[in-house]
Amino acid sequence: MGIAFFAGGCFWGIEAGFQNIPGVIHTKVGYMGGHTTEPTYQDVCSDTTGHAETIALEYDDAAITYRQLLEIFFSLHNPTEINRQGPDVGSQYRSVIFYTSPEQKEEAEKFISEMNQSGRYHAAIATEVVPAETFWPAEEYHQSYFMKIGQRYGRSLF
């Protein structure tokens, strides 16, 4: 089993994008990369804690590779934006890969280099690649948010 951490805007959409992927076992949204302990959503949204809205995912590395996870992550957000995604603005919405091993760091940096050289994006990739720190789980109402909203309306959003 492997663990990966990605931040790329509002964590609801990033989590939803990974939840039905074969090989992804479990997802959880939360906060990482800041300088305060036990941040709340309100704290993080103040754009003063330094945390990014982050997804933690557990995956079966025999069923899906870290590179495949990177490909999915980059398809779910605009990695050229700095401190924003769409209408969401602030450092909590920055694009970050929080690596847990030297191999993850190397794979992420290689992938970003390839994407920059590919011409796929109109600007250089702004995604940070930094060591994983303490992951602070978000409040329960944020977990699997899009699935909960779909259930509330009696239908799936996906």
Cα gap 135→71, rounded to integer Å = 22
Cα gap 28→38, rounded to integer Å = 15
Instruction: Exactly one of 4, 7, 10, 64 is catalytic; name it.
Output: 10
Cα gap 92→43, rounded to integer Å = 10
Assigned token pair, 59? 């995956």
Cα gap 76→54, rounded to integer Å = 13
Q: Are 99 and 58 in contact (CB under 8 A)?
A: no
10 flagged as catalytic: yes
Residues annotated as catalytic are 10
